[in-house]
Amino acid sequence: MNNFLISLIGVGFFAIPCLILAISFGDTWKEKLFGSAVICVIWLTFAVGCAFGHDINAEKWNGGYCKCGTHWELKGVSQYRSSHTKYYACPNCYTEIEINN
């Protein structure tokens, strides 16, 4: 829930100026309302996306330890444009995880 609030505020730095633009550029109340509704939906989608994406990585990473208590071992790194994926495996129970950042 904390992550969601942080994401909401973070995305808000972009969403709030857009919201102000939508309200000031709308000619009619319908346009103003529609414009702000669209921006609010995008804002929420991004905030949920950021918070949820962050949670998944943190949950998988589990502070650097597998559920069996063994430290993750780095198996490989792949890079696609600006996103990095790191592959970790547990040397004890062979669980594998992917961490995106």
* Residues binding Zn ion (CB under 5 A): 66, 68, 70, 90, 92-93, 95
Q: Which lies closer to Zn ion via its Cβ, residue 52 or residue 65?
A: 65
Tokens standing for residue 3: 């992550």
Q: Are 91 and 73 in contact (CB under 8 A)?
A: yes
The residue (of 62 and 78) whose beta carbon lies closer to Zn ion is: 62
Q: Which is nearer to Zn ion, 57 or 95 (CB)?
A: 95
CA gap 7, 25 in Å, rounded: 27
CB of 60 to Zn ion, least distance (A): 12
Q: Which two tokens stand for residue 57?
A: 């990585």
Give the Cα separation of 36 and 10 in Å (integer). 18
Min dist CB 88 to Zn ion, Å, is 10
